Every structure is written in structure tokens, then in C-alpha cells.
Amino acid sequence: MSRSAEEIASASKQIPSDLPAITFESLGLRQSVVKAMHAAFPNVQHPTDAQTRLIPAVLSGMDVLVTDDTGSGKSFGLLLSLLNEPRLRYRNKETGLVRENLSITSLFIVPHRDLAYQLYHWVQCISDAASNTPPGTPSIASIAQVLVRDGKMHLDSGLAALRSNPPHILIATPQAVMDVYRQEPETLPFVDFSTVVVDEIDYLVETMPHKSEETTYWKTIQKRQAKLTRHPGVTKELLDIIYAQRKKMCEENRQELVNEPYHTPQLVVSSASVRKHLSSHLFYESGWMRKKDTIIVHGSPKTVAPHSGLGGKDVKHSVLVVSGAKVTNIEEATPTTPEGDHDATKKLAENGEGQPVVVNVSAEQRSAYEGKPSPFNPNALEAVAVTFALDVPSVALLVIRPEASVQRAVYDLRSMGVNAVALDVANMERGGAHLLNYGDTSKFKANPTLLVCTRAMTRGIDFPELTHVFIMEFFQGKMSGQTVDEYLHIAGRVGRFGRGGRVITLVERGSVAGTDTKDGRRTGGKEDAKMMSILKSIGCSPDRFEYFD
């Protein structure tokens, strides 16, 4: 007898989250999958709260919407659930016979290539651990493949691998899937797949709030909405193709279960931030899923602000105001760290003060940038360099604006003596080496690294050693709920799994010069005010950073 979405959701909620007895097996995962996962990730002992709820939901085969804090183990739990699924085989449409050939079982859609490679590395670790046990374990290519548009790699090589050896899980960016589908649709028989996961759904499927005409930003929202209607984005187009039958049935207003009489893959969508307008689009406008057939997995109830749990409880949020050559704490900042107990003290003690690391600029970088003006504010970069030197024990992340040059920022920082590298998960020798580093942190401590990336690359990325996130040139255009979500997703790279961390946002006072109130009190520049409003909305106050008093 099949259970309703509500029954399954409420049953999973009844599982007490703090019982140590909950095991991954008790959630329905096969012992072989769990054994390999434990061998690959010894730190992962018990499922997180989010996983306790999402794994049985995904295994039930129903559609699922997952929303919980950044770093609560959503993506990891989703991958485990997909690895657990039985391998799909092609069905001959005419005879109905199942062919020996294996088919892609699940599609895991992610917003960018680095996240695709991160998930792939997780599967690879589990697969390597599994191959140490039973003989004849399938190769990694048949378990997982990555399909992304990569400047260096032509899509054809990905296509050839898909044709010859369709993987159990295809981890891909939406554009790459669309390109392959247009070129060779038979390689991606979507309707036969068991599951389609869309991670970071709010990033991939843009929706606008429904506002009344009286709202201040109504016109802006209308304009944006019209643009979205003309250019819905590739993920929407892709989901329209995969769930064409469901859409058709919705349009015809038929009441049957969405999967009958046609088979369509289970749809699982996930993000730390799912606003009301997105869920209402998913359930009532898109035709891809319906609320009554979907298990909704929410995180633990938030007690303070709606997002107060995001980014971790032990994360400090600092705001530095760059005004000319002067860098100071935002006026509202108050110390949350007792004097003398600062991270920097720990860092210097651990690293051994006075062991300078030589940082070079490559000949290639020199010839590309030497003598050319930098687009970055040198004082802001210097504030990052100083904080990095004093406070970062092993790995930090610098997030720059979307269209900025990562390579140029790396060059500027290396010229200041900072061991900066471009985040590049696909290339494990560089930024990616910091992934999956559990336990042995000595090599990173000996040579602390500043990973540099643009905003688009931060979604979902997980670096166990990361302690600091620097954000530069964050504000562009008007403030909205999306700006808050974006800050939370970037900040959420630290403070994962109870670890602490610090987020340092550099705001500039210049063209958006601070305004003085009538009583002569300085309120701070526009960007300061925006930053304060973000922190207020997430229930945080700025932490004073002693170096910038």
C-alpha cells in the first residue's frame, strides 16, 4: 500500500533527531553503501537531522523538496540516497523487455562545475572504499560521471563516455545537459530515469515575489518578471522537457497521480533558501511537481529570525569599511570575542611565528598583468592580505563580484605576498586540494591558502578546513530577499557542522559616500546600511575586529 506524502513526511518528523542510535541503515540505506561511506568518511558517524528526514523521503520514490541550513548535509544525504537506488536498465519500448544495457539512473543537476566535481570526488571516495571490499565492484565511470561545459574539454568527450558507459549518477550543469540533449537526445532518455535532483534550486530557477501594485518595487519586479518570461533560464527549459507529460496533465487539469499513466522521474529539489514565491512556482505554476504528491523536508524550526541558523551558530560576521586608505570596523561593531582569546593568537602559536612562506608570481601572470591598472580597490585587497596573514590558520575563501577576474585578483594578492590560488575543484593540485581533507591539516597550516572565486562558484562548495570567508564588492543594484539569501549562502561556507568561522565583508565608502544626519551623527555609507540590514534580518550583529580599531 503506498503512503501519502504527508504520512511519510510526518513519520520522518517523528524520528527524534538527537538519538545516537539512528544509523544510516535504519533510514533504509543498504549496508554495502553505508559500509563504503563510513570507510571513506570516518567522520560521518550518524545521519544529521536533515539526512534523517531526507533519506527516507528520497528512498520512498515520491517527489521531495528539501530545505535546511547550509552545511546540514543535504547534498551528501542526497548522493547517498541516489547511490542506494537499484541500477536502471533500458526497457525496449516495443517488446517491453528489459535489455542488459545499463541506463543512467539519476541526474544530479548543480549550478556550477566546481560543485559537480566536489560531488564526484565524494562518490569517488566511496567507490574507492567499496572496491577494497567485494571483488568485481563497478568502475567509477559506471557509478558517476561529470558533464559540464569546460573551457578546456569539449563536450564530445563527455558525450562519448555517456554513450559507451552510462553512469548510475550523472552529475551535471543544466547547460551541459541541454547541449547534449539537443545534439543527441537518445543519450539522455530522461523519462526512463529514476530520479532527477536539482540542488541549489533557488539559484537555478529564478522566481519573483508576488507583490501588489502598491509595493515600492512593484515596477522593478514586473520588469524582471517579464524578462524571466521571455528568458526563463536553462534549468526551467530542461525541467519543462523532462516533465512535459506532467505539465500537459496539469494544463488539462487532470486529477490522476502525476506519474500515471506515464512514467516520469522522481523530482527532488533542494536548497538552504526556498522562498515562498519559489515553492509556489514549483507546486502551482511550473507543472513539474504538485504539493500533494511531494514530501517537504524542512530543517529544524528556527527560533529567532527565519534564517538565524544558517551559516552556523559560531560564525562571527565582521564588516570593514574601506574609505580611501583607511580601513575601520563598521560603527555598530561590538566585540563578541573576549580580549586575548582571538583566533590570531591561536594561529600564530600553531604555525610558529616567523616562518615566512615565499609566494611567487608566475611569469605568465606577470606578462598578463604587470603594469596594467587593477580593477580592485588596493586598500580593500590589503585589508584582506593583512587579515589573512594575522588570522587565517590554513584556508580562507575570497569571494569577488560575478564578472571580476579571479586571475587578476590572484595576481594582485600574490604580489602582496599572499598565497592566493584560483578555486578550481576539478584540478585537485590547486584549489581543489583543500576538498576532502579530513584530519591531516598540517600541509595547509604550513602554507595557508587563500582560495579566490566569484560568487557563482560558492554555491554548495564544502571545504572542511575553511575558517574565513572574505567578501568584496558584494552590493550591486537594489537590495532584496535574494541579496540576503546570497549573503547567507556565501557565509554558509564556514560554520559547517558546528565548526566556527568568520565572515568579513569589505564595504566601500566613496561614490556611495556616507550621509550625515541632521544631528551630525554619521550613519555610514549606503553599503554600510545595507550590510547592517542584512545582518539584522539574519539576527546577527557585527563583530568588532581588533586589528582595524
Ligand X SMILES: Nc1ncnc2c1ncn2[C@@H]1O[C@H](COP(=O)(O)OP(=O)(O)OP(=O)(O)O)[C@@H](O)[C@H]1O
Question: In the complex, which residues of this chain contact ligand X (CB under 6 A)?
Answer: 41, 43-44, 47-48, 51, 70-76, 272, 460, 462, 464, 492, 496-497
Taking the least distance from each CB to ligand X, the nearer of 58 and 532 is: 58
Taking the least distance from each CB to ligand X, the nearer of 74 and 290 is: 74
Instruction: Supply the minimum distance, in Å, between the C-beta of residue 292 and ligand X.
Output: 26
The rounded distance, in Å, linking the Cα atoms of 68 and 60 is 19
Total residues found in the chain within this entry:
549
Lookup: cell for 145 = 560521471
Instruction: Supply the minimum distance, in Å, between the C-beta of residue 138 and ligand X.
Output: 23
Taking the least distance from each CB to ligand X, the nearer of 327 and 488 is: 488
Give yes or no for a cis peptide into 261 (omega within 30° of 0). yes
Instruction: Supply the minimum distance, in Å, between the C-beta of residue 178 and ligand X.
Output: 23
Taking the least distance from each CB to ligand X, the nearer of 53 and 74 is: 74
Residue located via cell numbers 540590514: 533
Angle separating helix axes 244-251 and 234-242, nearest 10 degrees:
80
CA dihedral 413→416→419→422, nearest 10 degrees, is 10
Which neighbouring-strand residues pair with 400? 454
Show the DSSP H helices in 295-405 as ranges: 343-351, 363-369, 378-391
CA dihedral 360→362→368→370, nearest 10 degrees, is 30
Question: Do residues 144 and 167 make contact, with C-beta atoms less than 8 angstroms apart?
Answer: yes
The amino acid at residue 472 is: M
Instruction: Supply the minimum distance, in Å, between the C-beta of residue 435 and ligand X.
Output: 9
Taking the least distance from each CB to ligand X, the nearer of 116 and 380 is: 116
Instruction: Supply the minimum distance, in Å, between the C-beta of residue 379 and ligand X.
Output: 31
Among the listed residues 196, 137, 468, the one whose alpha carbon sits nearest the alpha carbon of residue 312: 468
Instruction: Supply the minimum distance, in Å, between the C-beta of residue 50 and ligand X.
Output: 6
Taking the least distance from each CB to ligand X, the nearer of 200 and 343 is: 200
CA distances from 86 to 21, 104, 193, 267 (A): 26, 11, 11, 17
The rounded distance, in Å, linking the Cα atoms of 503 and 490 is 9
Taking the least distance from each CB to ligand X, the nearer of 176 and 274 is: 274
CA distances from 328 to 348, 469, 511 (A): 23, 18, 17
Question: Do residues 112 and 150 make contact, with C-beta atoms less than 8 angstroms apart?
Answer: no
Taking the least distance from each CB to ligand X, the nearer of 267 and 494 is: 494
Instruction: Supply the minimum distance, in Å, between the C-beta of residue 75 and ligand X.
Output: 4
Instruction: Supply the minimum distance, in Å, between the C-beta of residue 31 and ligand X.
Output: 17
What totals of helices (H) and strands (E) does the chain contain, helices first?
A: 20, 18
Taking the least distance from each CB to ligand X, the nearer of 323 and 482 is: 482
Instruction: Supply the minimum distance, in Å, between the C-beta of residue 427 and ligand X.
Output: 19
The residues, any chain, with a CB within 8 Å of residue 225's CB and separated by 6 or more, are: 208
Question: Do residues 239 and 288 make contact, with C-beta atoms less than 8 angstroms apart?
Answer: yes
Taking the least distance from each CB to ligand X, the nearer of 496 and 544 is: 496
The rounded distance, in Å, linking the Cα atoms of 73 and 114 is 17
Angle separating helix axes 31-40 and 113-131, nearest 10 degrees:
110
Instruction: Supply the minimum distance, in Å, between the C-beta of residue 399 and ligand X.
Output: 14
